[in-house]
């Protein structure tokens, strides 16, 4: 496992749980607005955490923490991800798993083997704008669609979420996203905030009024809709 970061306590990343968040290194996407550039393009300069150190931390925090958020990067890129999740579960922790949905078969395996309790999948944009939004020309959206349909089948607790960037998202995108995700129980809009660790500098945060309008559109299609980061 390539572990490149640990937030020792969070009350936000795993709703209803006192949790920690561990970040894996490496991603198959190159989203210009990614705020974890150090986990995507600058891995050689990112300090790693050994799995022994991480599990020693978890053992020490038993009874204090309820859950573990496994984020990235894209955790399903890690060759040892299933053994890693098994070891977390063996310690009695609940696991929330963040993914971009590009590896549906691995996602299904993690869910089917009950290695995760909750999945948060990033919806980058409307399907037609996925290539430019993930920074990959001619990107094949078929695996993304498969992951969405798998989660919508209700086999595990899940949420969809979109980081909204003024340069990439507009009103029409959310009508298309809404039709695609129709019936999903939870959907969150996350406000992009520029930082020093963004892959592409100079992108803009959306206006609050735009975010509220997008949320109203999505509320026509999904159960619970909320905005994070404002």
How far apart CA 74 and CA 25 sit, in angstroms, is: 7
**What's the whole-number average pLDDT of the chain?**
95
Calculate mean pLDDT across residues 207-217.
97
Q: How sure is the predictor about 199, in pLDDT bands with cuts at 50, 70 and 90?
A: confident
What does the pLDDT read at residue 44?
65
C-alpha pair distances (Å), 85 with each of 18, 77, 168: 18, 13, 34
Contact 109, 82 (CB under 8 A): yes
Is the pLDDT at 156 greater than 80, yes or no? yes
Tokens linked to 44: 């050689």
Show Cβ contacts of residue 23 under 8 Å, excluding neighbours closer than 6 positions: 3, 4, 5, 6, 7, 36, 39, 71, 72, 73
What does the pLDDT read at residue 211?
97
How far apart CA 220 and CA 108 sit, in angstroms, is: 28
Q: Of 8, 6, 16, give the one whose Cα is nearest residue 157.
A: 16
What does the pLDDT read at residue 196?
79
Omega before 185 within 30 of 0, i.e. cis:
no
Is the pLDDT at 230 greater than 90, yes or no? no
CATH number of the domain residue 176 falls in: 3.20.20.70
The residue range of the domain holding 125 is 3-228
What does the pLDDT read at residue 155?
96
Sheet holding 94-99, edge to edge: 3-10, 19-24, 67-71, 94-99, 118-122, 157-164, 186-191, 224-228
Percent of the chain surpassing pLDDT 90: 87
Give the chain's length.
230
pTM of the predicted model as reported, rounded to 2 decimal places: 0.95
How far apart CA 89 and CA 110 sit, in angstroms, is: 12
Calculate mean pLDDT across residues 205-212.
95
Q: What is the pLDDT of residues 62-71, one digit of tens each?
A: 999 999 999 9
Calculate mean pLDDT across residues 193-217.
92
Q: How sure is the predictor about 135, in pLDDT bands with cuts at 50, 70 and 90?
A: very high
Domains identified in the chain, total number: 1
Percent of the chain surpassing pLDDT 70: 98
Contact 116, 81 (CB under 8 A): no
């Amino acid at each position: 496992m390539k572990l490149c970061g640990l937030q020792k306590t969070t009350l936000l990343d795993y709703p209803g749980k006192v949790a920690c968040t561990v970040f894996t290194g490496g991603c198959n996407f190159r989203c210009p607005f990614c705020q974890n550039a150090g986990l995507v393009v600058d891995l050689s300069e990112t300090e790693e955490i050994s799995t022994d150190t991480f599990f020693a931390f978890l053992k020490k925090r038993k009874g204090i923490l309820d859950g573990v958020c496994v984020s990235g990067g894209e955790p399903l890129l890690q060759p040892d991800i299933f053994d890693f999740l098994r070891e977390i579960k063996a310690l009695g922790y609940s696991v929330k798993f963040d993914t971009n949905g590009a590896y549906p078969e691995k996602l299904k395996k993690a869910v089917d083997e009950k290695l995760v309790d909750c999945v948060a999948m990033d919806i980058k944009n409307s399907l037609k704008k996925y290539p430019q939004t993930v920074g990959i020309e001619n990107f094949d959206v078929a695996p993304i669609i498969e992951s969405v349909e798998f989660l919508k089948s209700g086999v595990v607790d899940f949420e969809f979420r979109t980081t909204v960037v003024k340069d990439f998202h507009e009103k029409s995108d959310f009508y298309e996203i809404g039709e695609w995700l129709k019936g999903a129980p939870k959907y969150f809009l996350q406000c992009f905030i520029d930082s020093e660790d963004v892959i592409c500098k100079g992108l803009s945060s959306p206006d609050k009024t735009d975010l509220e309008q997008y949320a109203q559109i999505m509320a026509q299609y999904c159960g619970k809709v909320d905005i994070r980061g404002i």
